[in-house]
A and B are shown apart, each in its own frame.
Chain A
Amino acid sequence: MQRLSRIGLTGLASAVCLGIAGVRADVVAVVSSNSPITTLTKTQVMDIFLGRRTHFPDGSSALPIDQAEGSTAREEFYARCAGMSSAQLKAYWSKIIFTGRGQPPATVTSSLEARKLLSANLNSIGYIEQSLVDSSVRVVLAP
């Protein structure tokens, strides 16, 4: 009886964890499936998206594709990779823009548009929902 309840509790805990994970671990960083890049760390991905580096670790040029401000994918991506809220991200880019150091990445309006562009551009990197990953793109980071 005791064992049973323990199993029950464990099962419940697992279900809760999976449930939370299912909601949160949704967005993944992807590149074209023809890209030589196979895996990247959070730091490497954020360096590219925050404009700190313009190249992948292998030396090829990296072109980040962002999603529209206010989109769930974008908020989750920066929260999970850099711990940044949309306001913190905006403040970060304001500091870059208004000191003439750069501009934020170009944006697309949806994950489908991101996937389409990514599959056709070897140097680009973006992020889409895990559920939208197909053979045209490769997951390089599941934050």
Chain B
Amino acid sequence: MIRRSTRTVVMALCAMPLSAAGADAAYPGSAASIFSFSGFGTVGETHSSENEADFTNSIFQPNGAGHTRSWSPEVDSLIGGQLSARITPELSAVVQVIAQQNYDGTYRPHVEWANIKYQFTPELSVRVGRFELPTFLYSDTRKVGYTYPWVRPPVEVYSLLPISASDGAGFSYSQNAGDLTNITQGGYVQSNTPLPGNRGAAIARDSINVSNTTEYKSLTFLVSYQHARLTIASLDGFLNTFRMFGPQGAAIADKYNSDSKAVVTSVIGASYDPGHWFLTSEWGLNRSNSFLGDHTAWYVSGGYRVGKFTPYVTYARESAASNSDPGLTLTALPPAQAGFASSLNAALNATLRTISAQSTISLGARWDFASDLDLKLQIDHTRIAADSDGNLINIQPGFQPGGTVNLFSATVDFVF
């Protein structure tokens, strides 16, 4: 399904008559070819003070800074290219390909966007294909570092819903009244995103996403809601082992397996940016009804622009409803089974520790040192909750819970 939609778009693009380009060359508004190519990228290095675990930008990366590499270029580095086509004033298409560290450690490019959009009226458009959901203020351009002030959007909030590229259909309806612009976007999508470490894929089905963005002068206000049915089959397999221990085991398996359970994410965000400074905040709530946990997360970030420099400070916090479970009652079991039950309990709690709970204070600066280029430096000081691994992965036996982690990141973003 995913492959077919991508292929359809590519075929449609190839089938477009090239002669149409420049047909109306007398006027610059239409003189441009119906095709336009644009690109973006980030070259970065991140250092982590924690040697016993890896910091990554998303759960889809297999390794990062810390244990695997003291300095990792893989956390933020990527390159993307996009071909846009304006076939008629109403009909347009876009294909965007990104190369970054994949779940399997390769840099094989993947299709991030591939859709056809039809503008029915100046207010209403419909798109079909692959696109990113506008769940957070920056989620649909989270791969384009040049579009935001930080090295990366705060992981506490943006990891609530790490899946962004999805396949399906969506609409956008915008209204203008004076200085007020209101855009409502909705979509019905699905996604299938491979996970690192032979953990199979995160499969989201029947995702319904609605978001509403209001812009009034320098103020942007976002409300979004997403309901999806998520399955991560590899972990469900482990949880189903509990069923051999009768009703108590079955109850644990039912409580924590994903198995198409509803994952609901609600977000409220606001940004005030009159030009010389900005203040941005987002708050998100995520309920998974599974081993993925229940989260609330928020951040506040402010920055001040002095010429080409934008120093900023961010505070972000992510809380989990629970990071542990008593598991099977060992005293009720015969000794022969208690040993196995105990190891299952330990594995369950190790899984629940991966539900992130942490807070970070970040200091950084963006320097627009040349046209189409920026340099960003950022220091993150993260305090991880005692019963959680935070957003870290590849946890080693020597990892000390409840500690702090310092990150230093330097990135150069570019657009072309």
Contacts and interface: CB of A to CB of B under 8 A. Distances in A.
Interface of A: 43, 47, 52-55, 63-65, 69-70, 82-88, 90-91, 94-95, 97-100, 103, 105-108, 117, 121, 124
B127 interface: yes
A103 B178 CA distance: 23
Given A98-B38, A100-B127, A103-B86, A47 B176 contact: yes
Interface in B36-72: 36, 38, 40
Contacts of A53: 122, 176
B301 interface: no
B152 to A, nearest CB: 15
Interface string B126-153: 0100011010000011011011100000
22 contacts: A43-B179, A55-B122, A63-B27, A65-B28, A69-B371, A70-B371, A83-B275, A84-B275, A86-B371, A94-B40, A94-B144, A95-B141, A97-B84, A98-B38, A98-B82, A98-B96, A99-B113, A99-B134, A100-B117, A103-B84, A106-B29, A106-B32
Given A88-B275, A90-B146, A99 B140 contact: yes
A87 B84 contact: no
A97 B38 contact: yes
Interface residues of B, number: 45
Contacts of A70: 371
Contacts of A98: 38, 40, 80, 82, 96, 113, 141, 143-144, 147
- What 4 A-B pairs have minimum CB-CB distances, sorted nearest first? A83-B275, A106-B28, A100-B94, A87-B368
Given A87-B368, A103-B36, A94 B117 contact: no
B277 to A, nearest CB: 11
Contacts of A84: 275
B176 A52 contact: yes
A124 B122 contact: no
A43 B177 CA distance: 11
A99 B185 CA distance: 13
For the residues of A in contact with B, the DSSP-based class is mixed
Nearest to B115: A100
Contact of A100 (B131, B147, B148): B131
A126 B12 CA distance: 34
A94 B374 contact: no
A98 B334 CA distance: 60
A32 to B, nearest CB: 13
B415 A124 contact: no
Contacts of B92: 100
Nearest to A95: B147
A88 B308 CA distance: 10
B374 A87 contact: yes
Interface string B179-219: 10100000000000000000000000000000000000000
Nearest to B274: A83
Contacts of A86: 371
B3 interface: no
B29 A65 contact: yes
B31 interface: yes
Contacts of B86: 103
A43 B215 CA distance: 13
B347 to A, nearest CB: 41
Contacts of A63: 27, 29
A70 B31 CA distance: 21
A98 B145 CA distance: 11
A70 B27 CA distance: 22
B84 A100 contact: yes
A85 B140 CA distance: 23
B276 interface: yes
Contacts of A55: 122
Nearest to A70: B371
Interface string B75-119: 000001010101000001010100000000000000001010100
A94 B147 contact: yes
Given A85-B308, A99-B134, 11 more contacts: A64-B29, A70-B371, A86-B371, A90-B372, A95-B144, A98-B80, A99-B132, A99-B141, A100-B131, A108-B28, A117-B27
